[in-house]
Amino acid sequence: MALTLTIDNLGVDFGPKKILHDISFSVGAGELVSVTGRNAAGKTTLLKAIAGLAPRVGNVVLKENGELLPKSAIAYLPQLTQVASRLSVFEMVMLGLGRRLSWRVTPDVFEQVDQTLHAMQISHLADLPVASLSGGQKQLVFMAQAFVSRPRVLLLDEPTSALDLRHQLIVMEAARSYASRTGSIALAVVHDLMLASRFSTRLLMLADGTVRRYDTPERVLTPDELSVVYRVEAAVERTSGGRLVVIPEKPLDVDTGHHHPDHVHS
């Protein structure tokens, strides 16, 4: 395969606290992988560690046609934060071109930014100040900024959490088509399991600080898995169109992990 991201025995400690350990998996060209798991499972930490933004042990190897790629081939888009900027949407997206920009804005640059705005369906916002946009619109702008930089690996931290239904689909479709069209890799933290299953080639389910399952959505999203990982009773069904539907029924008692049946006296 042309491009591969290989994570080998990755671990992250914050002081004495082991957040992630023994994480190994690999992703191939064209894949969108959704990272899922409970709150505080370490999903953000995993993306940051891959991007080199969190202290880690273990290896992150990105290779294309046998050649190692530099860290700059990986783009990390954090969860949406406040934007204090007077830049317009067009200018903000253009900044994604980084070192490819010179003092004069060439037609080629306009073209690339225009195309990206169009793909994200935000052309009509081009001249507005980013600061004046809604949370969801800002998310689309930052995704566009990441796309235009043409990363080989795109790491998206909860890209859909601030978005309405329509924009959730636009963003997930944009991530999927970016990966498949450019033969690159996208990893996205996604809490919505139906959205994740619909758009992802594979799900990476984190639990207890490590990879619990890394497989197709159909294989990962089973009632048994959901009860263990999320401590919920849930039904998993399929629509007539073949899509997976996860229906959470009720929370189960939190598993303390301290069951010692041997010690139970009858």
Shortest Cβ distance from residue 70 to ligand ATP (Å)? Answer: 25
> By CB under 6 A, which span of 37-45, 166-174, 226-234, 237-245 interacts with ligand ATP?
37-45
DSSP 69: P
Shortest reach from residue 16's CB to ligand ATP, in Å: 10
Can you tell me which of 1, 8, 9, 14 binds ligand ATP, judged by CB under 6 A?
A: 14
Q: Which of 27, 43, 179, 199 binds ligand ATP (CB under 6 A)?
A: 43
With b meaning 16 or more CB within 10 Å and e meaning fewer, what string describes 143-162?
bbbbbbbbbbbbbbbbbbbb
CA distance 78 to 156: 7
For the CA atoms of 247, 186, 97, 182, what is the dihedral angle to 10 degrees? -120
Distance CA 187, CA 172 (A): 11
* AA letter at 104: R
Residue type, 38: R
Which of these ranges, 21-29, 41-49, 67-75, 96-104, lies near ligand ATP under the rule CB under 6 A?
41-49
Is residue 68 within the footprint of ligand ATP (CB under 6 A)? no
Comparison of 23 and 117: residue with beta carbon closer to ligand ATP = 23
β-pair partners for 156 = 77, 188
Q: Which of 5, 23, 32, 41 binds ligand ATP (CB under 6 A)?
A: 41
Query: Does the protein bind ligand ATP through residue 18 (CB under 6 A)?
Result: no
Provide the token pair at 89.
């949407």
**201 makes contact with ligand ATP (CB under 6 A):** no
In the complex, the smallest distance separating the C-beta of residue 37 from ligand ATP, rounded to whole angstroms, is 6
Which residue is it, tokens 């499972």?
41
Among 31, 32, 33, 44, binds ligand ATP (CB under 6 A): 44
Return the structure tokens found at 122: 């935000």
First to last CA, the chain: 58
Does position 160 interact with ligand ATP (CB under 6 A)? The reply is: no
From candidates 16, 39, 99, 165, binder to ligand ATP by CB under 6 A: 39
Task: Give the residues lining the site for ligand ATP (CB under 6 A).
Answer: 14, 17, 19, 37, 39-45
